[in-house]
Amino acid sequence: MSAGTVAAAIYTGLSVAAGLIFLAITIAFGDYDWVARIGGAVWVFALCMIILMPTVTPLVRERTNR
């Protein structure tokens, strides 16, 4: 597999995990309706993708070049 494919799998997996953790926290501790919960989880997922994409890709490329 190429470094880009591995990096995409990593940052997508981390972003999905962050969204699911957000959803679990709002279900366990919050008194929110489902629109707010799902909207917040999607927002967390999108922000994590934006943050992790440019940081994970160079790290993976560096490790695969060794």
Question: Is the entire prediction scored with pTM above 0.85?
Answer: yes
pLDDT at 65: 87
For residue 6, name the pLDDT band (cuts at 50, 70, 90). very high
> What is the spatial distance between Cα 23 and Cα 27, in angstroms, rounded to a whole number?
6
Q: Is the pLDDT of residue 47 over 90?
A: yes
Token pair for 9: 């799998």
Please state the rounded mean pLDDT for residues 37-56: 98
Q: What percent of the chain has pLDDT over 70?
A: 100
Q: Distances in Å between the alpha carbon of 54 and those of 26, 39, 40?
A: 28, 24, 22
Token pair for 61: 């490329």
Rounded to 5, what percent of the chain is helix, strand, coil?
90, 0, 10
pLDDT at 1: 85
Domain ranges of the chain: 3-65
Q: Distances in Å between the alpha carbon of 46 and those of 10, 29, 66?
A: 15, 22, 31
Please state the rounded mean pLDDT for residues 18-42: 96
